[in-house]
Structure 1
Amino acid sequence: MRLFAAVIPPAEVLAELAEAVGRLRGLPGAGRLRWVQPEGWHVTVAFYGEVPAGSVGELGERLARAARRRGPVGLGLAGGGRFADTALWTGASGDVEELSRLAAGAAAAGRRTRGMPPELRRAPERRYHPHLTLARQNHGGGTDLTPFTYALRDFTTPQHPVPSLTLIRSHPPPPGHPGAQPDYEPLARWPLGVGGA
């Protein structure tokens, strides 16, 4: 199963994001992008890829420990950017250092779990760039994302506490449905900063 760990921004943050995305979807070219549906909005902290079912229990135990070791995370969203011309995102703001420590703990949980994909165990640590993906190019691309990033330049939300770390299963869209989005299934949640180390 294809898994990742994420934090879900608080409802107050997502409500402000929904207003901003509504304005973005009115820009020229917006109809040619694949917009992430609000129920799929999240900030990934660690991506695991294909995980054997037998490893999920141990991964969950390790993620629970990583969540307990982190204090509450105040999270907001601010600005925007793009990865090449393939994806449009808004950045995380607030307690980004604590969020980065949570991401490091979640990544280590994956590396230490028995049965995980070898490429995950060998993957070099990369600088964490917390963001929430808003839209992706359709196959073939062609939409200039510059006006969208420009429209997000002054976007900001207040920060609110994130209560938990979530393990999510990604169900890919069925073949033959170009532009379809994956479905995200939360498998488990662990409160942040509850119970110490």
Structure 2
Amino acid sequence: MSRTRLFTAVLPPDPALRELRRAVAPLHALPGADALRWTGPAGRHFTLAFLGNVDEEVLPDLYSRLERAAHRTPAFPLRVHGAGRFGGRVLWAGAAGDLDTMRLLAERAHAAARRAGLPMEEHRRYTPHLTLARSRDEADLAPFTAALGGFEGMRWETGELSLVRSDLPVDGVPGEQPRYEVVRAWPLGR
């Protein structure tokens, strides 16, 4: 039986990603930047629910449940905004806009996966974030969050829920990044 590593996400449009890339570029010159593993542009997304390895036989039910979740949720305004960190391990950019609707979409995506039979972890309050860099060890990420803290990205209308497949990088290959592919996407609202 074939299994696929999946997650649901909101994908920023290309102009917003280019704008973020320009804002993040100076961070690569900060002390300690070379010790971080920076996320490539293809990996910059707002994960809503991580589904893990999903059996192929579950996909039809999952697709229909995610489609319903998307149709029940209206489109909403969003932008990349500011920065934060999870301890000394993950540097991220935040979001601004209609975060209540974004959280609702995350809850619905999580519930759709659970109802399709996936063993989902307990759902915690969703923190919208877009991962920029990771550290294998605890790193001082404060200078990075301070440098990007005032970032105000362009506004866009989030119009779809995406189901994304991720293929992990090959161990031992320097600079290797995960690969992402949108499997399906559903428009928000009716």
TM over 0.5: yes
* Cα deviation digits, residues 121-156 of structure 1 (max 9, x gap): xx322111010000001x3x2532111011012111
8 Å Cα contact 2:8-2:48 kept in structure 1: yes
Q: Please name the residue that 2:82 is paired with.
A: 79
Q: Which amino acid aligns with 2:134?
A: R
Query: If the length of structure 1 is used for normalisation, what is the TM-score?
Result: 0.90
Query: If the length of structure 2 is used for normalisation, what is the TM-score?
Result: 0.93
Q: Please name the residue that 1:152 is paired with.
A: 148
Q: Please, which runs of 5 or more residues in structure 2 have no aligned partner?
A: none
Q: Please, which runs of 5 or more residues in structure 1 have no aligned partner?
A: none
Q: Please name the residue that 2:187 is paired with.
A: 191
For residues 161-176 of structure 1, the aligned pairs below 5 Å read: 161-176=157-172
**Paired residue secondary structure (1:31):** helix
Q: Please name the residue that 1:127 is paired with.
A: 125
For residues 14-25 of structure 1, the aligned pairs below 5 Å read: 14-25=17-28
* Cα deviation digits, residues 140-193 of structure 1 (max 9, x gap): x25321110110121111321022111011101123336532111110111111
Aligned residue pairs: how many? 187
Which whole-Å CA distance do the structure 1 matches of 2:112 and 2:42 have between them? 26
For residues 1-197 of structure 1, the aligned pairs below 5 Å read: 1-114=4-117, 116-117=118-119, 120=120, 123-137=121-135, 139=136, 141=137, 143-177=139-173, 180-193=176-189, 195=190
Which whole-Å CA distance do the structure 2 matches of 1:95 and 1:12 have between them? 20
**Paired residue secondary structure (1:147):** helix
8 Å Cα contact 2:66-2:109 kept in structure 1: yes
Q: Which amino acid aligns with 1:127?
A: R
Which whole-Å CA distance do the structure 2 matches of 1:112 and 1:170 have between them? 22
Q: Which amino acid aligns with 1:48?
A: L
Runs of 4+ in 1 over 6 A off after TM superposition: none
CA shift for structure 1 position 77? 1.1
Which whole-Å CA distance do the structure 2 matches of 1:94 and 1:191 have between them? 18
Which whole-Å CA distance do the structure 2 matches of 1:48 and 1:179 have between them? 26
**Paired residue secondary structure (1:56):** helix
8 Å Cα contact 2:24-2:148 kept in structure 1: no
